[in-house]
Every structure is written in structure tokens, then in C-alpha cells.
């Protein structure tokens, strides 16, 4: 009698413990948790080339939180919409920043893996955009404090930020 219940329970246990490498979002989650903990060795094991040096992020990128949306799977490739909350992002105010990009995934003989080259490219582009905006705001606030409140100064910095955004968008279109 007990054996009759043992088989379904065992099957449920195996199904519930299915490898995270079967799902792009599971691999992305583990990868970004390792990056958040600043453990590039663990993160590297979830990448295509398993290269620890390539898995290291810039030292200024400090992850406070990670969020995902549903992956988009097309054959052996997938993208996982990813949002990182970065701490101590602003050089002057030390505020947090939120950057959104796609974690690029590829299926390998070991299951889903992070395509580190493509993911870093997407991440650094998103970080660069956000940093330019943050730096512009910080600079504008500093100048405003030094010179007083002036609509003309704000207009100049808005134009500067728009110019940077246009340049980044043009770069995105060429890639």
C-alpha cells in the first residue's frame, strides 16, 4: 500500500527539483545572485565559456536588487528582461539607480547558459545611459547650488543629456 504512494511522491519530488538549467530564468536568477554576492567563480559556471575573468563586472557596479520578467525563448537562444538596482551609483549623491536590459541566454550541452559577451554589452550600455543621466543631474545640482537657480542652466543640461541620449540611441541602432 505504501509503495503505491511512494511513486507519485517521488515523481513530484523529481519534477519539483528539476534542474534550473532547464529554464533560462532559473539560470539568470542564479547568475545575478552570484554577481550580487560578488562571486564571479559561481557566476562563471553559468556562462557559456565558464571564464571567471569574463564573469567579473566592473568594480563600481554594486547590485542591491535583481528583478526579472518572463523570458523570450527562440530556439536555442533566449532573452530574460532584467532590472538591476545598483547601490551607491551616483558619484556625488550616492543614490541608487535602476537599469533595465536583457540577459542574453544560449542553450548548450549543459543547459541554458548566460552569453556573457552579449549580456555585458547590454548591461554596460544601460549603465552608461543611466550614469550619464545621473552625472548630468548631479552636475546640474552642483552648478545650481554654486550659481543659484537659473532656468537657462537647466536648459543647457537638458540639451546635454538629450544629446547624450541621441548618441547612445544611434549607437544602439548601429549594433
Torsion angle of the four alpha carbons 97, 70, 37, 88, in this order, in degrees rounded to the nearest 10: 0
The DSSP bridge pattern shows strands 97-108 and 63-68 to be unpaired
Distance CA 53, CA 41 (A): 9
The number of angstroms, rounded, from the C-alpha of 69 to the middle of its chain's C-alpha atoms is 12
Does residue 111 sit in helix, strand or coil? Answer: strand
Amino acid 130: pLDDT: 84
Domain 19-174 carries which CATH code?
A: 3.10.450.50
The DSSP bridge pattern shows strands 77-86 and 97-108 to be antiparallel
Amino acid 123: pLDDT: 95
Distance CA 100, CA 68 (A): 9
Q: What is the pLDDT along the chain (175 residues), one digit of tens a residue?
A: 444 444 444 434 444 444 455 899 999 999 999 999 999 999 999 999 999 999 999 888 999 999 999 999 999 999 999 999 999 876 666 678 899 999 999 999 999 999 999 999 999 999 888 877 777 665 666 666 666 656 666 777 777 788 788 877 877 776 6
Amino acid at each position: 500500500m505504501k509503495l503505491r504512494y511512494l511513486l507519485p511522491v517521488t515523481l513530484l519530488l523529481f519534477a519539483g527539483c528539476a534542474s534550473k538549467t532547464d529554464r533560462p530564468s532559473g539560470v539568470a536568477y542564479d547568475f545575478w545572485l552570484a554577481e550580487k554576492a560578488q562571486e564571479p567563480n559561481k557566476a562563471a559556471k553559468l556562462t557559456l565559456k565558464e571564464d571567471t575573468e569574463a564573469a567579473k563586472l566592473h568594480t563600481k557596479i554594486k547590485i542591491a536588487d535583481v528583478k526579472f520578467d518572463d523570458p523570450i525563448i527562440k530556439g536555442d537562444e533566449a532573452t530574460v528582461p532584467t532590472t538591476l538596482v545598483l547601490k551607491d551609483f551616483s558619484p556625488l549623491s550616492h543614490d541608487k539607480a535602476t537599469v533595465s536590459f536583457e540577459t542574453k541566454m544560449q542553450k548548450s550541452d549543459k543547459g541554458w547558459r548566460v552569453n556573457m559577451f552579449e549580456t555585458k554589452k547590454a548591461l554596460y550600455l544601460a549603465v552608461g545611459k543611466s550614469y550619464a543621466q545621473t552625472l548630468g543631474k548631479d552636475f546640474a545640482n552642483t552648478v545650481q547650488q554654486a550659481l543659484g537657480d537659473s532656468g537657462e542652466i537647466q536648459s543647457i543640461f537638458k540639451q546635454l543629456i538629450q544629446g547624450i541620449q541621441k548618441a547612445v540611441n544611434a549607437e544602439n541602432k548601429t549594433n
